C-alpha cells in the first residue's frame, strides 16, 4: 500500500477514562493516522469516543471483535457503520454466514469501511490451540484456513501476527489488508502477547497497518516513541 508511515500506524487506546483517551488523541493525532477503540474503552465511553476521534480528522478502528449469530452481527455491524468507523473487526471463528452478514450490514451503510477478521489472538500458542481448543492444525495452518474463509466471505483483510505475514501474502496477494498487533519497538518487552515483532520486521514482511499500544501508552515520552516507530517503519 502506498501510504505514509503515519497513516499505517494505529494507536490502541487501551485506557479506561475518556479524558485520558481525549488527551492522547489531542496530543498524538499529528503523528498517528488511526486510533483503535476496543471493548475496554468503548464499554466505558460508548459512541462519544468515536465522535471525539473523528473530530480530530483521525481514522477510527473499532476493534469490536463481533462474534454472535449472523442476524445479531449484521445489525451490530450496521450500527458501527452508522457511527462512522473506518475499520471494524469480527471473529472469523464465527463462520462464513456470520462474516457475510457483517459485510452486508456494513455495506448497507458505508462501502468504504474496512471489515477485518480476527483469526487467532496473538496471546494463543500452539499448545493452547491443540490442548484447550481441540484444533489439530498448526497455528499457521489454522490462520491461513480462517483467512481463506474471511476472503471468501467478502472481508477486506485480517488481523495477524507478523509470524504469519509472509505466508498470508503468498496466499492472498497484495490487495488483502493485513493488520499486525503485537508490535514492539526494538528494546521493548513482550507482555502477554507471544507472537510479537518490530515495526521494521512487520513492514518488510508485508504488513499494511501496525497496531501499537503499551510501548507508547506506558512511555514518559510518547511522541518520542512514536517518532522512533515511524523511523523503524521507514528503514
- The 8-class DSSP code of residue 154 comes to T
Question: What pLDDT is recorded for position 126?
Answer: 86
Distance CA 63, CA 65 (A): 6
Domains in the chain (CATH in brackets) are: 5-234 (3.20.20.70)
Strands of 8-49, DSSP E: 9-12, 34-37
What is the full per-residue pLDDT of the chain (235 aa) written as tens digits?
Answer: 578 999 999 999 999 999 999 999 999 999 999 999 999 999 999 999 999 999 988 999 999 999 999 999 999 999 999 999 999 999 999 999 999 999 999 999 999 999 999 998 878 888 999 999 999 898 899 999 999 999 999 999 999 988 899 999 999 999 999 999 989 887 665 554 456 789 999 999 999 999 999 999 999 999 999 999 999 998 7
Catalytic residues: 65
Distance CA 120, CA 139 (A): 8
- Unique residue bearing C-alpha cell 489488508: 177
Q: How far is CA 115 from CA 90, 99, 103, 195, in A?
A: 8, 9, 7, 23
Question: What pLDDT is recorded for position 192?
Answer: 47
All three cell numbers of 51, joined, read 465522535
- The 8-class DSSP code of residue 208 comes to S
Amino acid at each position: 500500500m502506498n501510504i505514509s508511515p503515519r497513516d499505517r500506524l494505529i494507536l490502541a487506546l487501551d485506557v479506561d477514562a475518556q479524558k485520558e483517551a481525549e488527551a492522547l488523541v489531542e496530543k498524538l493525532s499529528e503523528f498517528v493516522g488511526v486510533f483503535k477503540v476496543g471493548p475496554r474503552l468503548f464499554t466505558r465511553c460508548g459512541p462519544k469516543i468515536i465522535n471525539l476521534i473523528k473530530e480530530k480528522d483521525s481514522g477510527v478502528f473499532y476493534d469490536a471483535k463481533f462474534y454472535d449469530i449472523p442476524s445479531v452481527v449484521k445489525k451490530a455491524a450496521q450500527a458501527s457503520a452508522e457511527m462512522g468507523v473506518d475499520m471494524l473487526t469480527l471473529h472469523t471463528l464465527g463462520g462464513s454466514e456470520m462474516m457475510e452478514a457483517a459485510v452486508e450490514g456494513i455495506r448497507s451503510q458505508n462501502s468504504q469501511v474496512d471489515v477485518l477478521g480476527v483469526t487467532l489472538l496473538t496471546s494463543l500458542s500452539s499448545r493452547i490451540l491443540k490442548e484447550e481448543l481441540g484444533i489439530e492444525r498448526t497455528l499457521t495452518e489454522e490462520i491461513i484456513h480462517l483467512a481463506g474463509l474471511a476472503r471468501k466471505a467478502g472481508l477486506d483483510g485480517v488481523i495477524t501476527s507478523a509470524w504469519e505475514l509472509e505466508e498470508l501474502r503468498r496466499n492472498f496477494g497484495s490487495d488483502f489488508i493485513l493488520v499486525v498487533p503485537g508490535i514492539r519497538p526494538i528494546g521493548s518487552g513482550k507482555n502477554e502477547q507471544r507472537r510479537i515483532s518490530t515495526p521494521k520486521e512487520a513492514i518488510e514482511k508485508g504488513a499494511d497497518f501496525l497496531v501499537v499500544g503499551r510501548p507508547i501508552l506506558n512511555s514518559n515520552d510518547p511522541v518520542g516513541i512514536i517518532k522512533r516507530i515511524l523511523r523503524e517503519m521507514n528503514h
